[in-house]
Structure 1
Amino acid sequence: MTTFFDLVARRQSDRAFDPDRPVEKEKIQQILETVRLAPSACNSQPWHFIVVDDPETKNKLADAVASKILGINHFSKQAPVHIVVVEEKPNLSAGFGAWLKDKNFAHIDVGIAAAHLVLAAEDEGLGSCIMGWFDEDKVRKLLGIPSGKRVLLDVVLGYSTQPDRKKVRKELDKIVSWNRYE
């Protein structure tokens, strides 16, 4: 059994996938069940997930996610699964709290859910990458998302062909202080 620390240490943003190896539905279901259990402010669960695994739709989605000008996210066409995260309206308690405290709890909650998603994918032996750069209008139109909804993320999943990389992170003493900000 892998420890949680080992799982987190192993997980990376993958940008190379085996396009000929589909992801088993059972694995996707397990990942989604893990995401369903993610915490949210006032149990609001302000999210909706669209699983895109139809090859034709997935390729059109990958075109909306890639940028020819900036040369980014072209790898997304290799990934056999995209999970698009749509922001939903929070419940009354979370919405009021967000207004009162001037914090977007829904975005925080979606971030927590996305972390659950990619860690669950890693636990299932899948690579993943969270992407926030895309043509939101094209994604909305392609997937039939109502115009009043925000598309926050596209998370790609698949069997990674990318070698493991050493994580480069700030030292702990650069990001943590005790008892006061320093």
Structure 2
Amino acid sequence: MKDFLSLASRRQSDRAFDPQRPVEKEKLQRILEAACIAPSACNSQPWHFIVVDDPELKNRVADATSNRVLGMNHFTKQAPVHILVVEEKPNLTAGIGSWIKDKNFSHLDIGITAAHLVLAAEDEGLGSCIVGWFDETKVRKLLDIPSGKRILLDIVIGYSTQPDRPKKRKDPKEVISYNRY
């Protein structure tokens, strides 16, 4: 457990990458394998990963994540890899369970797989940032994603040039209780 806590403590949302240093295919493959083995409701695995590492296409996807008015996500162009997470239909059991329990199990599952992915990237010595703000219509057109599919996340991966920073988290006493709220 000590090793996992160390890994989780090191992982941060990086917003500065070395654009000249590509991510090795072997590392990328291991990261994606870690994401694929993430647990999901009823083993539904309601995700599809699109790896964008072609420099020209990657820059066009990065442009779709940037917002000039709000000054958001301009760092995404530096990252050599974008991994888009597309929501897939859950299997029948998970779909019925989501409806009965009024919980979107697919979104929960995608959060879990995203956590696996970014922790695996950290373990490989790579930085990452999970991006949820992007022009979904533009990204859909760029990557030929069918209109009925939702792109939930863009996870950028690369060699971070951002210094480690201390984590600012709530005190555990504020977010943990035992046996009652």
Q: Report the TM-score when normalising by structure 1.
A: 0.98
The answer for the alignment partner of 2:136 in structure 1 is 136
SS of 1:89's partner is: coil
Q: Is 2:89 the counterpart of 1:89?
A: yes
5+ residue gaps, structure 2, are none
Deviation at 1:35, TM superposition (A): 0.6
Deviation at 1:64, TM superposition (A): 0.3
One-letter amino acid matched to 2:12: Q
Q: How does 1:30-179 map to 2 (within 5 A)?
A: 30-179=30-179
Once residues 132 and 35 of structure 1 are traced to their aligned partners in structure 2, the CA distance between those partners, rounded to angstroms, is 18
5+ residue gaps, structure 1, are none
RMSD: 0.6
Deviation at 1:138, TM superposition (A): 0.3
One-letter amino acid matched to 2:116: H
* Count of matched residue positions in the alignment of Structure 1 and Structure 2: 180
Once residues 105 and 70 of structure 2 are traced to their aligned partners in structure 1, the CA distance between those partners, rounded to angstroms, is 31
The answer for the alignment partner of 2:180 in structure 1 is 180
Deviation at 1:103, TM superposition (A): 0.1
The answer for the alignment partner of 1:29 in structure 2 is 29
Deviations 1:76-97 (A, max 9, x none): 0000000000000000000000
Displaced runs of 4 or more, over 4 A: none
One-letter amino acid matched to 1:80: P
